[in-house]
Structure 1
Amino acid sequence: MTENSRPRSALVALSGGVDSTVAALLLQQQGLAVQGITLRLLPGAAGEATIAAAGRVAAELAIPFRVCDCVDDFERQVMTPFRRSYCQGRTPNPCVLCNRLFKFGLLLDEADRLGCDLLATGHYARLDQRQPDWPRVCRASDLRKDQSYFLFCLSSPQLARICFPLGDLTKEQVRQQARRFGLAAGDSGESQDVCFIPDNDYIRFVETDAASPPAGALVHVDGRVLGNHNGIHRYTVGQRRGLNLAWREPLYVVRLDPIANQVVVGERPLLLRETFEVTELVWNAPQSPEAFDDLCCQIRYRHQPVAARLQSSGPQQVRVQLTAPQAGIAPGQAAVFYQGDTVLGGGFIL
């Protein structure tokens, strides 16, 4: 990289927490002109609290700060589809959708509008830029905090404009940096998994929609009706707790049938699958998915990846063949494909 091509400015997505705070601090220390921005995603007190916390960070760092109001768009493009997916018997991942549309979609547009060379966030991930035409997301050094799973949706042009300053740091090192410079965020708590469900009560959130699914039958895979359920949105594939069924051995949710309005249950071996389809595929390699014989597939955030082969099965769709059967392969969840620590692509389980 020549001196003239080095980035000179960065727009940093601030949440008010320690991660985005230290991301901005590190870029300042590298000599970049840093600006802060916060997305107002939620109405009322929750949205105002995030803005106030981010504003305090910007004031501590003495950087320009602005707010982008996305409340209506976020409700329409993330929260409403989240409710709808649960009511259709799927297990959605709203963080992937938010990253694609807002944190790395809208904010890259804002970076362009403001004339910033880079967009930076506090995600724990790294970038492999050894091939300039094919920058790729890699796992963070701190595997306990790694967030690369949620970033498969980013394209090569986007990744060429993004940086993750925390990729080589542990969480404790990030906190130490904040405390060293006397930043209030150094003692801030961890963020919740889904920002718009702070109490983690997905059922209550879905049921705020008057169109929540009705009660129906709990059915064994052999067709026997074993009981009733209070809406398929209350269940996910692999679930055992809350079935309240008397049976000779533990039962699990094997699949959800929104057309028949049934929760289908069975014994644990019936949960295991070796093949499944992935749609809305994002692929970030010049070779086709079939060309790789050293891929691993991760089927949920904390899942241990399993070796897999891919076969194209339609436009933006692949069939996944795992080398070992896995339980709890839930429609709607993201399946992400790694070569070592590098993300080559991903999509959503059908």
Structure 2
Amino acid sequence: MKVLAAMSGGVDSAVAAARAVDAGHDVTGVHLALARNPQTYRSGARGCCTLEDSRDARRAADVIGIPFYVWDLADEFHEDVVDNFVSEYAAGRTPNPCLRCNEKIKFAAVLDKALALGFDAVVTGHHARLGADGLLRRSVDLAKDQSYVLAVLTPSQLGHAMFPLGDVTKADVRAEASDRGLAVADKPDSHDICFIADGDTRRFLGERLGTASGPIVDAASGAVLGEHGGAHGYTVGQRRGLHLNRPAPDGKPRYVLSITPVTNTVTVGPVEALDVVEVRGERAVWLSGPTTVDCQVQLRAHGTPTDASVTVVDGTLTARLREPARGIAPGQAVVAYRPDPDGDIVLGSATIASTVSAAAPAA
């Protein structure tokens, strides 16, 4: 097949491209220029938006022996990922930008362009598996598994995707890169959010949303306990950074329970109040099987799966949890998995819109 290898400049995408060549495919490498000014995003080897990354990708393509191009997708990335990230926080939610990047950039803008140019598929270095049955599965390296951030893809998009690294560990990838003579073999993994240059999310959001102060309110009594400098600086489940002068009656710490942008209010309470028994998601993508199923759900990146009963109706996914889960933030994804001897199968996903507290009275 004629395939396009998305090369970030990291070790995973370089080895994925090399493996695609070994498999007999006609491979062309492409680096996505995602920053309008590469110096304003990540620096060094921390992300996927730097000049260093572009050069690393080009050198890897030279070693592999494939054509290489740079595609400027900065405007699309800024609108679909960065602006979305900011607007989600402004609405009191906690987004996962990697989900949006996969959905809107790598497997929408890039895949659409690749297909228009006559390519059959896009190859990436994600740690996930696509079986011969076309089903998305977890990686064999559960510590690096990225099926959670790929679960937003549609069956059509998965039909034009290739993930050559799903059957190896990250240690295997680095060893293989070294054997192939790829200079990125020991390059550090990216961390945090690639478009926030110094990793300071609160500062980044404050520059774009302002620092309007508002009340921090106790959930039980309604009393104002303190003041914050911008609700966007908080997320559900957060404990640090509240700077409350009035301790709880029992002396235990308080946690963020909810954020209300309309009134610019942060509501706090005891850790037990973070327990939820139901999660409701919107914009559901269902990939496999019946839309009412007992399965497992993962509620945050690298979170522990929990047993649930899942129902999908008219684009809304409802997951009723067998055991309460703690600190689930709207804006994240709920991803449903079916345990399988060959690796957990991704059934579908949705963006978390709301939750039902374990302490809520029965309807």
User: Common fold, TM-score beyond 0.5?
Assistant: yes
Residue-by-residue CA offset, 1:103-125 (whole Å, 9 max, x unaligned): 11122123213322221100000
Aligned with 1:16 (options 9, 18, 42) = 9
For 1:220, give the aligned amino acid: D
Post-superposition shift, 1:212? 2.6
Look up the match of 1:4: none
Residue-by-residue CA offset, 1:175-204 (whole Å, 9 max, x unaligned): 111111211111211112321024321111
For 1:215, give the aligned amino acid: S
**1:190-269 to 2 correspondence within 5 Å?**
190-209=189-208, 211-212=209-210, 214-222=212-220, 223-245=222-244, 246-247=247-248, 248-269=251-272
Residue-by-residue CA offset, 1:121-151 (whole Å, 9 max, x unaligned): 0000001232xxxx22110000010000000
For 1:69, give the aligned amino acid: D
SS of the aligned residue for 2:29 comes to strand
Normalising by the residue count of structure 2, what TM-score does the alignment of the two structures yield?
Answer: 0.89
Find the aligned partners of 2:118 and 2:188 in 1 and give their Cα distance. Answer: 33
- 1:87 and 2:86 matched: no
Look up the match of 1:150: 149
Post-superposition shift, 1:96? 0.6
Post-superposition shift, 1:87? 1.8
Aligned with 1:117 (options 112, 120, 134) = 120
SS of the aligned residue for 2:279 comes to strand
Find the aligned partners of 2:80 and 2:121 in 1 and give their Cα distance. Answer: 25
For 2:212, give the aligned amino acid: P
The answer to whether the 8 Å contact 1:87/1:212 transfers is no
The answer to whether the 8 Å contact 2:206/2:230 transfers is no
Find the aligned partners of 1:198 and 1:178 in 2 and give their Cα distance. Answer: 27
For 2:96, give the aligned amino acid: N
Find the aligned partners of 1:186 and 1:310 in 2 and give their Cα distance. Answer: 41
Aligned with 1:99 (options 77, 99, 102) = 102
For 2:210, give the aligned amino acid: S
Find the aligned partners of 1:119 and 1:127 in 2 and give their Cα distance. Answer: 13
SS of the aligned residue for 1:348 comes to strand
Look up the match of 2:325: 326
Post-superposition shift, 1:268? 1.1
Find the aligned partners of 2:317 and 2:11 in 1 and give their Cα distance. Answer: 38
Find the aligned partners of 1:74 and 1:108 in 2 and give their Cα distance. Answer: 14
Look up the match of 1:297: 297
The answer to whether the 8 Å contact 1:87/1:213 transfers is no
Look up the match of 1:49: 52
Look up the match of 2:46: none
What is the root-mean-square deviation of aligned Cα atoms in Å?
1.4
Look up the match of 1:34: 27
The answer to whether the 8 Å contact 2:76/2:105 transfers is no
- 1:274 and 2:273 matched: no
Find the aligned partners of 1:286 and 1:267 in 2 and give their Cα distance. Answer: 39
Post-superposition shift, 1:213? 5.2
Find the aligned partners of 1:129 and 1:155 in 2 and give their Cα distance. Answer: 16
- 1:108 and 2:111 matched: yes
Post-superposition shift, 1:331? 0.7
Look up the match of 2:349: 346
The runs of at least 4 consecutive aligned structure 1 residues that moved more than 6 Å come to none
Find the aligned partners of 2:329 and 2:9 in 1 and give their Cα distance. Answer: 33
The answer to whether the 8 Å contact 2:216/2:265 transfers is yes
The answer to whether the 8 Å contact 1:83/1:206 transfers is yes
Taking only the aligned residue pairs, the percentage that are identical comes to 41
For 2:171, give the aligned amino acid: E
Find the aligned partners of 1:279 and 1:204 in 2 and give their Cα distance. Answer: 29
The answer to whether the 8 Å contact 2:6/2:13 transfers is yes
Over 3 Å counting, the alpha-carbon distance change for 1:319 and 1:232 in structure 2 is same
Look up the match of 1:187: 186
The answer to whether the 8 Å contact 1:275/1:321 transfers is yes
Which structure 2 segments of 5+ residues have no match? 40-49, 354-363
For 1:309, give the aligned amino acid: S
How many residues align structurally? 334
For 1:83, give the aligned amino acid: V
For 1:242, give the aligned amino acid: G
Which structure 1 segments of 5+ residues have no match? 1-7
Post-superposition shift, 1:286? 4.6
For 2:188, give the aligned amino acid: G
For 2:229, give the aligned amino acid: N
The answer to whether the 8 Å contact 2:298/2:336 transfers is yes
For 2:214, give the aligned amino acid: G
Look up the match of 1:3: none
